[in-house]
Amino acid sequence: MTKDKEPVVRGFHVVCIMAIIVGAAIQFSDESEYLVNMSKANLTHVPKGLPPKTKVLDMSQNYISELQIPDVRFLSGLTVLRLSHNRIRQLDFSVFKFNQDLEYLDLSHNQLRKISCHPIVSLKHLDLSFNDFDALPICKEFSNFTQLNFLGLSATKLQLLDLLPVAHLHLNYLLLDLRSYYVKEHDTERLQILNTKILHLVFHPNSLFSVQVNISVNTLGCLQLTNIKLNDENCQVLIKFLSKLIRGSTLMNITLNHLEVTWKCLVGVFQFLWPKPVEYLNVYKLTIVESIDEEDFTYSQTTLKALKIEHIRNRVYLFSQTALYTVFSEMNIMTLTISDTPFIHMLCPQSPSTFKFLNFTQNVFTDSIFQNCSTLVKLETLILQKNGLKDLFKVGLMTKDMPSLETLDVSLNSLKSDQHEENCTWAENIVMLNLSSNILTDSVFRCLPPRIKVLDLHKNKIKTIPKRIMKLEALQELNVAFNSLTDLPGCGTLSSLSVLIIDHNSISHPSANFFQSCQKIRSIKAGNNPFQCTCELREFTKNLGPLSSEVLEGWPDSYKCDYPESYKGTPLKDFHVSQLSCNPALLIATIGTIVLVLAVTVTFLCIYLDVPWYLRMASQWTQTRRRARNTPLEELQRTLQFHAFISYSEHDSAWVKNELVPCLEKEDVQICLHERNFVPGKSIVENIINCIEKSYKSIFVLSPNFVQSEWCHYELYFAHHKLFCEGSDNLILILLEPIPHNSIPSKYHKLRALMKQRTYLEWPKEKGKHGLFWANIRAAFNMKLALVTENDDVENLK
């Protein structure tokens, strides 16, 4: 984001870096396929047996001291050869005469003193810098290197005609290592005109700058100087050197690396360059020495667009801060970067300033920076990353008088938001605010610029996004990654939200209605949260639907279950719970349905198959059998003459004679029937009693007819009486036809009671059921009873 706000600075990079990339491009082509990396392998010789197809061979940082034809001749496809940081002392370029494709040759940082030449016309990158050459190692064959882009050289002395063979080449980058260069007394050396876009000169790191060479360069776009040590006395040497190089030049970029300088000289160099055709000035690794005093600076018309100073070390301990900062704060340029310095402050410009872009990353600025400063009227971007800011309220206050401010980056500070949030003031136009890596809490949402579009709050201490926050209707991108949030926010007050970054929080059940609330969401990054793989989560992923991979950034890899334990580490996409177990209403409905179906089935069985009847019959049968087994046989045999007495209504006699009697007699059951066995001369009642007394069981055939018959009731009465007297279970009730309960006259309470107990056998209408019915009847007589003869009985009666 900040880079986008730095168009001018970017322009510089394009010019200077493109030139380098041309060389680098060769370096990386096809590397993966035929790359042999033998860097740092303690080699003293080029090893035998390299793959003949090798294209890229890296043998840098070894102890190789020589290179011969047999070492490389069979590598016919070799395009890149890195031999930097070895111990090669001399080289005959004809060793490469069989390597027709060689484009990149790095021999820097060896001990080369001598080369013998041979034209390698394919060469694009040749680095011979940082060697022990005396004169520039250029031979006339170099003039054929028409493809050459990069040339690195080193020398201890320069001569006018040294560069002649390469003067006509159109180089991109010329690196000249002059570390061992020594000055001849009062003798200004000259180098002839050459064509290069970038000229990089490296001087001795520890000697005062003393190069007196007069180099003229055509088409120079970038000048880089490395290792410049200046004091007040030799400051002019550099200025003179620069003035000759810049003379007649078009606009250019100047970069100074490793500059050790007095404050007075530094200001002098700036003052010298101010009216010159320089657009971008970069200083990397600046050390200020001796003293810092107030220096006059005339801010004349300048073409300078950007000044960038990175990494300042100050070896002056007592000085006026104002003297130091005023030079920078009053600069009439658009872009200023001062980063990685021990600066504790920056002054507010005295008059309306031209600054549009200020980058003060990694200094030690405090909350007092730019307080009540109303001259930064054009400032659009302010970066105060990695400083000592503490109070968010004050940061807001600082921006109050910056009417053009759109982008503010105060990340990596120690900002807190716990006071007076309600009255926060912000520049009206801020659209991008970077508050990441601070110690802000939930209350930050009450102290934000009202028109904010992009808000970065990652790596803070936010636990919730409060419901009651100011309306942030313009907010489109919100980054709250690496906080302690437990849920996704609703978009009630964030109506324009389209990008949400909320990974690495504590979200276990993201609320499913997020997507209803946040209609405009285009992208959400919510991975690496401790998801609880439960039903709620299922709702959430379901709401995503097929959009998962488009909307959810990092899907599916960074979305994993954290709980329950059995699912830990399972990707969310593989987590499935059934619809049923997640929906209580559905669950109840399903159980209800099952119960209903069962009930219907049971009812069906009862109605159409008469299951209860079967059950009842079966239970009677088992009971009868049990009782029969329990009754001692001898006791029964004493008095009995018949197995059964049958009592029935005249109206049912057809059934009794055709069905019941034949069936029983088939089983050898002796039956006492009144028309057959009643003794003449005795009263009916006597006969009945007699019959019942002499029978093992009494069978009553119940039907509405039975109820109407008075005699039948007598019979039942006696039989029941016997039941109570003897305690034996002698009654078998057969319900031939259903008897409506209320049709039984109330005086026959015995019958009523028996009917109520429902201990009767029902005569089934369906033929299929008759078998079981008879089996039940038979079970009641399942015994071997030896009966006394009728004669004995007559005797007994007497």
Ligand X SMILES: *[C@@H]1O[C@H](CO)[C@@H](O)[C@H](O)[C@H]1NC(C)=O
Quick check: helix, strand or coil at residue 151?
strand
Please say which residue, 1 or 797, places its beta carbon nearer to ligand X.
1
DSSP character at residue 110: S
Q: Which residues contact 583 (CB under 8 A, 6 or more apart)?
A: none
Residues contacting residue 560 through CB under 8 Å, at least 6 positions apart: 531, 568, 569, 570, 571, 572
Sign of the torsion formed by the C-alpha atoms of 635, 638, 644 and 647? negative
Task: Tell me the closest approach of the beta carbon of residue 394 to ligand X, in angstroms.
Answer: 19
We find the least distance from the C-beta atom of residue 412 to ligand X, in angstroms, to be 5
- Residue pointed to by tokens 């299951």: 611
Would you say 59 or 151 has its CB closer to ligand X?
59
Instruction: Say how far apart CA 518 and CA 516 lie, in whole Å.
Output: 6
Q: From the CB of 454, what's the least distance to ligand X, in Å?
A: 6
CB nearer ligand X, residue 60 or residue 534: 60
Residue 434 binding ligand X, by CB under 6 A: yes
Provide the minimum distance between the beta carbon of 399 and ligand X in the complex, in angstroms, as a whole number: 17
Shortest Å distance, C-beta 197 to ligand X:
32
Task: Report, in Å, the least distance between residue 139 CB and ligand X.
Answer: 36
Cα separation, 5 vs 337, in Å, equals: 13
Question: Considering beta carbons, is residue 1 or 135 the nearer one to ligand X?
Answer: 1
> 434 or 705, CB closer to ligand X?
434
Structure tokens at 672: 């006492």
Query: Is the bond leading into 51 cis (omega within 30 degrees of zero)?
Result: no
Q: Binding of ligand X at residue 177 (CB under 6 A)?
A: no
CA angle 435, 436, 442 (to 5 degrees): 70
DSSP letter for 571, please.
B
Per-residue contact string for residues 435-464; x = within reach of ligand X by CB under 6 A: -x-----------------x-x--------
Q: What angle do CA 389, 393, 397 make, to 5 degrees?
A: 95
Alpha carbon distance 274, 127 (integer Å): 34
The least distance separating ligand X from the CB of residue 42, rounded to whole angstroms, comes to: 4
Q: Which is nearer to ligand X, 377 or 474 (CB)?
A: 474
Strands 499-501 and 90-92: unpaired
CA 130 to chain centre: 49
Q: Specify the residue, 41 or 160, whose C-beta has the smaller distance to ligand X.
A: 41
Binding residue for ligand X, selected from 102, 307, 412, 488, defined by CB under 6 A: 412
State the residue for tokens 């069962």.
Answer: 598
With respect to ligand X, which residue has the nearer C-beta, 413 or 505? 413
String of contacts with ligand X for each residue 372-411, x by CB under 6 A: -------------x-----------------------x-x
Task: Write out the binding residues for ligand X, residues 572-591 only, by CB under 6 A.
Answer: none
Least separation, in Å, of the C-beta of 455 and ligand X? Answer: 8
Q: What minimum distance in Å lies between the beta carbon of 2 and ligand X?
A: 6
What kind and span of H or E run contains 407?
strand 407-409
Q: Are 126 and 103 in contact (CB under 8 A)?
A: no
- Name the minimum Å distance from CB 39 to ligand X: 9
C-beta pairs of 273-277 under 8 Å, 24+ apart in sequence: 273/242, 273/304, 274/298, 274/299, 274/300, 274/302, 274/304, 275/300, 275/301, 275/302, 276/246, 276/303, 277/246, 277/249, 277/250, 277/251, 277/252, 277/303
Handedness of CA 763, 768, 774, 779 (dihedral sign): negative
Spatial separation of the C-alpha atoms in residues 121 and 139, rounded to whole Å: 14
Least Cβ distance, residue 237 to ligand X (angstroms): 40
- Smaller CB distance to ligand X: residue 503 or 793? 503
Calpha distance 455→446 (Å, rounded): 13
Residues in contact with ligand X, counted by CB under 6 A, come to a total of: 12
Instruction: Please state whether beta strands 222-229 and 252-262 pair in parallel, antiparallel, or not at all (unpaired).
Output: parallel
Residue 43 CB, shortest distance to ligand X, in Å, is 9
Phi, psi of 316 (to 5 degrees): -105, 130
Q: Which residues, 627 to 666, sit near ligand X by CB under 6 A?
A: none
Q: Which is nearer to ligand X, 1 or 775 (CB)?
A: 1
| Helix, coil or strand: residue 263 | helix
> From the CB of 383, what's the least distance to ligand X, in Å?
9
Q: Which residue is nearest to ligand X (CB)?
A: 1
Tokens of 95: 């060793």
329 lines the binding site for ligand X (CB under 6 A): no
Cβ distance to ligand X smaller for residue 385 or 776 = 385
Strands 80-82 and 407-409: unpaired
Query: CB 360: neighbour CB atoms within 10 A?
Result: 24
Question: In the complex with ligand X, which residue's Cβ is closer, 28 or 63?
Answer: 63
- Least distance (Å) from ligand X to the CB of residue 316? 30
User: Smaller CB distance to ligand X: residue 239 or 521?
Assistant: 521
Q: Which is nearer to ligand X, 42 or 566 (CB)?
A: 42
Enumerate residues 34-93 that contact ligand X by CB under 6 A: 41-42
Do 364 and 389 meet the contact criterion of CB atoms below 8 Å apart? no
Site residues (CB under 6 A) for ligand X? 1-2, 41-42, 385, 409, 411-412, 434, 436, 454, 456
